[in-house]
Amino acid sequence: MTAYQQLEARLRRLGVLDGVGQVLHWDRAVMMPPGGATSRADQLAELSLLQHEMITAPDMGDLLAAADQEGGALSDWQSANLREMRRLWHHATAVPGDLVSAMSHANSTCEMLWRTARERDDFAAVVPALEDVVNLVRQMAQAKADALGLSPYDALLDAYDPGMRRAEIDGIFSELRLFLPDLIGRVIDRQAAGPALLPVTGKTTVAAQRALGERIMTALGFDTDFGRLDVSHHPFSSGVPDDVRITTRYKADAFTESLMGVIHETGHALYERGLPADWRWQPVGVARGMTMHESQSLLMEMQACRSPAFVAFAAPIMRETFGGAGPSWETDNLLRLYHKVARSLIRVEADEVTYPAHILLRYDLESAMVAGDLRVADLPGAWRDGLHALLGVDVSDDKDGCMQDIHWYGGSFGYFPTYTLGAMAAAQLFHAASASDPGVMAGIGRGNFAPLLTWLRAHVHSKGSLLSTNELLASATGAPLGAAAFRAHVERRYLG
Residue at a domain's end among 131, 160, 189: 160
Please indicate, yes or no, whether residues 312 and 406 belong to a single structural domain of this protein. Answer: yes
pLDDT at 1: 87
Which one-letter DSSP state was computed for residue 300?
I
Region of 228 please: left (phi>0), alpha (psi -120 to 50) or beta.
Answer: beta
Mean pLDDT in residue range 260-284: 97
Q: How far apart are CA 149 and CA 243, in angstroms?
A: 37
Tell me: the pLDDT tens digits for 393-411?
A: 999 999 999 999 999 999 9
pLDDT above 90 as % of the chain: 94
348 phi and psi angles, rounded to 5 deg: -70, -10
pLDDT at 349: 85
Q: Are strands 237-240 and 243-248 parallel, antiparallel or unpaired?
A: antiparallel
Query: Would you say residue 71 has pLDDT above 80?
Result: no
The alpha carbon torsion through 10, 15, 20, 23 (nearest 10 deg) reads: 180
What are the angstrom distances between the C-alpha of 17 and each of 48, 97, 242, 283? Answer: 9, 17, 15, 13
Q: How far apart are CA 464 and CA 485, in angstroms?
A: 23
Per the domain annotation, does 346 fall within a domain? yes
Radius of gyration of the chain (CA): 22
Confidence of residue 440 (pLDDT cuts 50, 70, 90): very high
Q: Number of structural domains, the chain?
A: 2
Instruction: Return the CATH number at 311.
Output: 1.10.1370.30
Residue 239, strand partner residues: 244
Around Cβ 25, how many Cβ atoms within 10 Å? 20
Tell me: the pLDDT tens digits for 344-365?
A: 999 988 999 999 999 999 999 9
227 phi and psi angles, rounded to 5 deg: 180, 175
pLDDT at 203: 84
Please indicate, yes or no, whether residues 192 and 140 belong to a single structural domain of this protein. Answer: no
Residue 176 contacts residue 420 (beta carbons within 8 Å) = yes
Which is nearest to 27 in space by CA: 273, 267, 241, 238? 238
199 phi and psi angles, rounded to 5 deg: -65, 135
Q: How far apart are CA 470 and CA 455, in angstroms?
A: 18
Please indicate, yes or no, whether residues 280 and 151 belong to a single structural domain of this protein. Answer: no
Confidence of residue 202 (pLDDT cuts 50, 70, 90): confident
Mean pLDDT in residue range 428-457: 97
DSSP string, 69-105: HTGGGS-HHHHHHHHHHHHHHHHHHTS-HHHHHHHHH
Please indicate, yes or no, whether residues 142 and 197 belong to a single structural domain of this protein. Answer: no
Q: How far apart are CA 250 and CA 120, in angstroms?
A: 19
Q: How far apart are CA 366 and CA 107, in angstroms?
A: 16
Per the domain annotation, does 273 fall within a domain? yes
Please indicate, yes or no, whether residues 70 and 176 belong to a single structural domain of this protein. Answer: no
Per the domain annotation, does 451 fall within a domain? yes
Mean pLDDT in residue range 427-435: 98
What are the angstrom distances between the C-alpha of 60 and each of 12, 48, 88? Answer: 14, 18, 11
Per the domain annotation, does 227 fall within a domain? no
Please indicate, yes or no, whether residues 41 and 143 belong to a single structural domain of this protein. Answer: yes
Which is nearest to 200 in space by CA: 86, 325, 109, 382? 325
| Strand ranges of the sheet holding 237-240, from the earlier edge strand across to the other edge | 227-231, 243-248, 237-240
265 carries an active-site annotation: yes
Q: How far apart are CA 311 and CA 304, in angstroms?
A: 9
Please indicate, yes or no, whether residues 349 and 386 belong to a single structural domain of this protein. Answer: yes
Structural domain harbouring 307: 168-201+266-495
- The average confidence (pLDDT) of the chain is 95
Of 8, 111, 257, 265, which residue is the catalytic one?
A: 265
Query: Would you say residue 252 has pLDDT above 90?
Result: no
Per the domain annotation, does 214 fall within a domain? no
Residue at a domain's end among 130, 160, 190: 160
pLDDT at 234: 80
